[in-house]
Amino acid sequence: MNTLANIWNQPKTSITGLLIGLVTVAGVLSQQGINLGKAGTGTIVTLIGALGTALLGLLAKDPSVPAPSSSSSVKLGVWALIALLLPLPFMTACSGVTVSQDIVNWTPTLQSAVATVDSTVALLAPADAPIFAAATVGFDTASNLLATQARAYLANPTAGILAQMQLQIVTFQQQVNSALLNAAKISDPAGQKHAISAIQGVATIVEAILGLVQSVSSKAAVAQMAARSTIKRADLGPLLDRSRAVRMVAEHYAEPAAVASLQVAQAEQLQSVAGF
């Protein structure tokens, strides 16, 4: 219930806050497998979309609502509100095949990010390079194995291959989280910044893939995955740059930053609820 309570800690007069709450409720209900009787989660999501559309219609007729501008603002504008109603890949994957294709589509970017990690060693001071190299030594093997599993699942979506992906994505996530904590120990400020930035490129993609695997996993399987995740996202503190994650997701899906921001927030919320 704490999650639902947090959702409604938006200003009561904010339609933006209400829409964010509606979208988050839909994702949490779907992820947790809550039995909604004859309505079903699909109907609830459709209802939420209809409510959102109605609210946008009211908002558009309100003369007090300013037109979107290029200036920065704490509140989302009308176009960002519309983005709330667009499909979110992290929470709406409809089948294992869809998810495996999405994971396969992420793998070239993942392997490129891992290559950036490999080349970062040369940018570090001699005293810091061994720390970084030791922390990231398994990235190449982990990314290649995950890519192989995703292609295998796309070709033959069985429960056995899905179980392999569930284990591998959590194993990789833990390697990345551990590497971030170790990179924070690098003494040279510039070197530390380079190291954390390189690892976060991998971390963002791993988190995206984790969300995709999570979306087609049973509640029991997600619980097992979360139990293996001993280094939680919360343990990383300020090491992660959320704005960079949003940029990467926006670029990958060729979409506005407002949509990517919601996707990242939704994935973070679902993973937090699950215990990652």
Q: Is the pLDDT of residue 260 over 60?
A: yes
- CA torsion sign, 212 to 216 to 218 to 221? negative
Distances from the Cα of 74 to the Cα of 16, 95, 149, 168, 245, angstroms? 11, 36, 41, 38, 19
Q: What is the mean pLDDT of residues 206-230?
A: 95
pLDDT of 88 over the 50 cut: no
Question: Is pLDDT of 59 > 50?
Answer: no
Same domain, 111 and 223: yes
Residue 90 lies in a domain: no
- Judged against a pLDDT cut of 70, whether residue 4 lies above it is answered with no
Query: For the chain, what is the domain count?
Result: 2
As a whole number, mean pLDDT of residues 116-139 equals 94
Mean pLDDT across the stretch 244-260?
A: 94
- 60 lies in the same domain as 186: no
Residue 170 has pLDDT above 60, yes or no: yes
The answer on pLDDT for 183 being more than 90 is yes
Backbone angles phi, psi at 225, to 5 degrees: -60, -45
- Domain with 166, as residue range(s), is 96-274
